[in-house]
Amino acid sequence: MAAVTASDDRRLDRRALIVGAVAALAAPLAAEAQQAPKRWRVGYLSASFAYPGGPGGWDAFRNALRDLGYVEGQNLILDGRFGEGRMESIPRLAAEMVGLGPDVVVVIGSSETQAVKNATRAIPIVMVVVPDPVGSGLVLSLSRPGGNVTGLTSAPGLDLQGKRLALLKELVPGAAKVAFLVNPGVPATSARVHATEAAARSLGVEVSPRRSASRSRRRCCCGRIR
């Protein structure tokens, strides 16, 4: 059985997305900074880890802000909160982050963005690595998001699920059954599974969704697939 992991698009180049988020964040900050000196408070929430070079993009985010002239201790207060792989901690961390009163919060991931949105409707939220923000209910549309959420999407449509499956079929022509590992805690999971199953029927492939919310359980699923 061939296996493909698509629970949260972790294979994307997150550093490039983080830098893009900083660019989206910097424009309004710069406009107000011209009016009066201010020390900006920026929050950063990720379910990942804060270690240097880690997948959460923490270092890339700090460096990109520094390159744009925002320096901690001078004109910037930077608050980072990290779930360290424990998704159940995200609602608490989101509430804690909002309680700090940041000017804006940068959030990595769909469930994480939803948690912050649940905690505040006033503080601007910049989302990163969110595959389907419209389907997840985070924004009204990509062109006019509405509310207090904006940012970058990592996949501009569910048709990408079919393209992934078609690519896998090209790489493994004899594949007849594909395990599809997903995180049920991600709001867009159901839509992505349906889109993948529809594409699988046209390719003559059977898809077997494996749902797992925790990192340790996903490792167990991969072991059983092998």
Domain enclosing residue 143, as ranges: 14-153
Do 186 and 209 reside in the same domain of the chain? yes
pLDDT value, residue 127: 94
Do 170 and 197 reside in the same domain of the chain? yes
Q: pLDDT tens-digit profile of 101-140?
A: 999 999 999 999 999 999 999 999 999 988 788 888 899 9
DSSP state of 8: S
Task: Look up the pTM and report it.
Answer: 0.63
Q: pLDDT tens-digit profile of 6-16?
A: 444 444 455 55
Q: pLDDT tens-digit profile of 128-175?
A: 988 788 888 899 987 789 999 999 886 656 667 778 888 888 999 888
Do 135 and 188 reside in the same domain of the chain? no
Sign of the torsion formed by the C-alpha atoms of 105, 108, 109 and 115: negative
Do 130 and 74 reside in the same domain of the chain? yes
Do 115 and 171 reside in the same domain of the chain? no
Are the beta carbons of 133 and 145 closer than 8 angstroms? Answer: yes
C-alpha separations of 70 from 42, 66, 82, 109 in Å: 10, 5, 22, 24
Q: pLDDT tens-digit profile of 70-79?
A: 999 899 999 9
C-alpha separations of 74 from 37, 41, 58 in Å: 10, 11, 19
| Among 216, 209, 153, CA closest to 184 | 209
CA-to-CA distance for 102 and 105, rounded, in angstroms?
Answer: 7
pLDDT value, residue 3: 41
pLDDT band at 90 (very low <50, low <70, confident <90, very high): very high
pLDDT value, residue 168: 87
CA-to-CA distance for 177 and 3, rounded, in angstroms?
Answer: 9
pLDDT value, residue 222: 54
- Residue 53's contacts (CB-CB under 8 Å, 6 or more residues apart) are 59
C-alpha separations of 89 from 9, 43, 81, 129, 182 in Å: 20, 16, 10, 19, 19
Do 110 and 174 reside in the same domain of the chain? no
CA-to-CA distance for 196 and 199, rounded, in angstroms?
Answer: 5
pLDDT value, residue 80: 94
The SS3 assignment for 94 reads: helix
Domain count, the chain: 2
pLDDT value, residue 30: 59
Hey, how many other C-beta atoms are within 10 angstroms of the C-beta on 33? 15
CA-to-CA distance for 214 and 7, rounded, in angstroms?
Answer: 10
Q: Which of 153, 184, 217 is the last residue of a domain?
A: 153
Backbone angles phi, psi at 90, to 5 degrees: -65, -45
Do 38 and 135 reside in the same domain of the chain? yes
